Structure 1
Amino acid sequence: MKKLFLVDDEAVIRRGIAQKIDWRQEGFIYCGDASDGEMALPLIEKHQPDILITDIKMPFMDGLTLTKIVKEKLPHTKIIILSGHDEFEYAQQAIRLQVEEYCLKPVSSQDLLTILRKIKKEMSIKVHPFSSLETKEELYEQLCKGALTPEEILYQAKHFQIDLMASYYTVLVTEPLDNTVKEQLLNFQPLFFIKETKYIFIFKYDIEQILLQQISKIKQLLTAQQNAILFGLGSIETRTEHITIAYETALEAYSYSQAIQSNTLDKDMYQALMESFDRRELIYFLKFGQSNQLDSFIESYASFVHQKNNLSRVFLYYFLLDFTITIRHYLDESDMYDHHFRDIIKPLENSLHQVHTKKEMSNYMRKMLQPLLEYHDNHSSKYGKVIQQVKQIISTKYHESSLSLQQIANEINISASYLSNIFSKEMDQTITEYITKSRMEHAKELLKTTDLKTYEIAYKVGYNDSHYFCHTFKKSTGMTTKKFKQQVLGNTTPSIT
C-alpha cells in the first residue's frame, strides 16, 4: 500500500479527490490533506507519504516551494502538481524539480487515478538509488560512523520502520554487559548494536532535561555494579547526522575510563567519583582551556571536594589519582606535546601521596595544568591553518545546501567534534553560524547587483526552502529582502523593521 497526501487550498477539490476514489481498493492509503504548504509540511514529515499531490498556487507557501522542501527532506516521495495556470514558467520550474506529473485543472478523478496507477507501477519496479542495509543494527552503526546523508537516514529509517526523530541524542559505549544490566539499559528504549567488543546504545529524547535525567540514572546504574563497568558517555547532539559526534566523544570517554580503571581504583571510590563529577570537563579543558581560566576551572572541577565537610584523605587521593591519570592519558593520546611534558608531570605524580588538604589539592592541580596551558597559549596559532581551511571550503561551497560540519571535517580529515570546538573557540561562533553569515553576505550582494527573484537567490546561496531563507535573512539583517533591495536602490528612507 502506498501512502498519499493531498494539498489544495480549495476545500471542494480536497473533498472531491478524497471521496471519489476507493483508495484501499486501488492499493493506496489516503493519509491526510491540508489547505496550504505551511500547514502541510509538518503533516508530511509525520506521515512521510509515498506520493504527494499539491496545487501550485496557494497562500502562505505555494506548491513549488513545498515541492522543493519535500524533495530535499523526502527525496523519494513522488509529486504530482495540479495547476490552474497554463503558464510555461510554472511547468518549467516543475520540470526542474523533477516532479512526476504536471496536470492542468480541472482533473477528473479517473484521469488522476490513471496517473496514480502509473506512478505506483513505476515505484514497484524502480530500483532505489540508496542500497538497503540488511539490518537495523547496520543502520545504527552507519549513523555512528557518520556514513549516511540526511536523505539516506530518512530512507533507511523508513525502510526499517524506525522512528529516529528526536530533538536530542547521545551515545553510550560500554564493555560487554550481563543480561540484567543490558535489559535495564534497554528499558530506556535506545537504539542498540554490538561493535566488536563494545556495546553501543543511542539514546534520544525530545526534551533535553529528561535526557539528562536518563544519563544520570544510567551513570548510577553502571557504577553501582559489583564489578565496575567500563563505559563512556558522549556529547548531547541535536541532529541525526551529528550522532557520529556523540559516538566519537563516547569512544574517547571510554578510552579514558579504561586508563583510570587499569590503575585498580577501589570500587566504592570509583563509584563515588563517577557520581560526583564529569571527567569530560577536564578533557575539554585540556584541549581548549586557557591560562586565564585556570583558577576558575579548578574551583569548578573540584567543587564537590570543597563541599565535603569531612573529607577523607583516601577520597582526596583517588580524586587526584583520577585527575592525574586523565592528564597522563591525554598526553599519550595527543600529538601536540612531546616527552618533555611527561618529564614535568612525573615528579608531580610522585608527590601525589603528600597531598592532604584542599589547599594542597588546588596547588597540585595548578602545577599539573599550568605548563600544558602555557604551551597551548603559545601555540594556539596551530589552529590558524585549520581555520583557514574551513573558511576556504565555506567560501567555495556555501551555495551547496548539503554543506555541513561533518562534510567539512571529512575534507580536513579531523573529527567533527574536535573541529567544532576549535572553530567555536577561535572564531567565537559556530561553523553553522559562519556558514549562515557567509550565505547572507552573498545574498545581499545578489540583491544589490541582480534582478533575480528571491527564490532564485535562495537557491544560489544554499537554501532549497525560500521561505526559510527569507526568515533567516530577516533575522540576520533586520529587514525583508524587499526592504533591503529598496534601501539599496534608494527608493525608500533607510529603515529597519
Structure 2
Amino acid sequence: MTYKVFLVEDEIIAREGIRDAIDWAAAGYQFCGEASDGEIALPLIRERRPDILITDIKMPFMDGLQLCRIVKETLPTTKIIILSGHDEFRYAQEAMQIGVTQYLLKPIVAQDLLAALRKIASQIDGERQAKAQLETLQAQMFDHQPMLRERCLLDLVSGSSSAADFMEQARNLEIDLLAPWYQVLVMHAMPPSAATAPLYTLYQQVDVTVAASLNQSPLVVAFKHGLEDTILIVRGETRADMTQQAERLATAMRQRVAEQLGCRAIIGIGDPTERLSLIPQSFAEALAQISSFERPAESDPSDQGQFHGGAIMLKALAYIDTNYADPAMSLGQAAAHVLLSPTYFSALFRREVGETFIDYLTQVRIRKAIELLRSTSLTASEIAYRIGYQNPRYFYSVFRKVVGQPPNEFRQRF
C-alpha cells in the first residue's frame, strides 16, 4: 500500500533537499506534488488529495497554519507534518491544536522524516482498517435490518424491552412509532384443510395479501412472528380513531385472506393505550382474544403441528417432560429453550396447551409422584426432592390440592 505525500516549503533549497533525500517509491510513498506556499499548494492539494501533507509554518501569501486549517476542514483524513524552526515553537503548539499529526524541527534529517512518515503510515493503516470494518458492519446491519427491526418490535410487544430502550433502538433502525395512541392487532392465518400449495408459499401469499390490505398506511407498523402470525401496531390521534381504524383493518384483512386465498384469519384486537410501555398489555389482550377461538371441529386436535406454535409447543413440552425434576425449571427457562420471550411464550402456551405453564409443570410432577408412590418405597420427602420440589411441605400441599388427599394417605390405598 502506497501513501501520497505533498510538500509545501518556500525555501527552494530546503524543498528540493527534502524531495531528493528520500527514495519515495522504495519507501512505499508516492511523491504527488510540491509548492512554494499555501496559496499555490491549496488547489493542487484539493486535486491530488494526498494522504500526508508536509508543510513549513512560515511562508509568504498563505502560511502553513492557514493552510493546515483549510486542509483539515476540506480533507479531514489527511495527516499533516509541520516543519518548524526553534524560534517558532509557539506556532507548532498552535498547529497541534488545529490537528496537525507531527512536527519536526529544522534542519530536517531524512531518517527523522522517514520515521515520522512510517509512524503516520501505521496510523493511516489502522484508520483504513477500522473504516473497512465499520463499512462491513454497516453493510451487514443493512442486510440484517429487517430481522433486527422485527426483533426490536417483538421485544417491545412482549415486554422484553423498556419504552426507553425501544426508542433508542427504533431510532437506529428507523422505526417511526411515536404517536398519542397505540393499539395492537394480531392476525393468525389458518390454511384451508384442502390446501395443495406448500405452507411456506401459502403464508407468503398471506403476507402479500395483508400488505395490500394495509395499503402502505403510515399509521400501521406490521411485522411477522413465525409463519402464521402477523402483528400490527396501529397509531392514532384519539381513542375513538383507534377503535374504528382497528375494526376496519381487521375486516379488510379477514375478507381479503378469505376471498383470495381461502384461508381463515383469526384476529385479536387489544385495547388502545396512550403509552408505549403499555403496548405489551394490548398485545396480551389481542393474544387472549385469539386464544378464545375454538379450533375447527373437523381438525384432529392431536395434530398440533397444524396450529400456531405447534412445533414450538411440542419442543417446549418435551423439554418440560425431560427436565421437570430440575428445581430451577421455570417459564423463563422453557421460553429460552424455544427462543421466545417469556411473555409471548406464556400466552402461546396457554393458547396451545389449554392451561398455564405452572399448571402443566405441576401436573407432570404430580403424575410422576403418583407413579413413585405406587412403585417404590421412597418416602414422600424423598419423592418431593426427586420431582423438583425443594420443600417437602410445599409438595404435600400441592399434592393434596391436585389429588385430594396427602401423599401418605394416597399410598395406603394401594
Band the TM-score falls in, shorter-chain normalisation: 0.3 to 0.5
- TM-score where L is the length of structure 1: 0.31
Structure with bigger gyration radius: 2
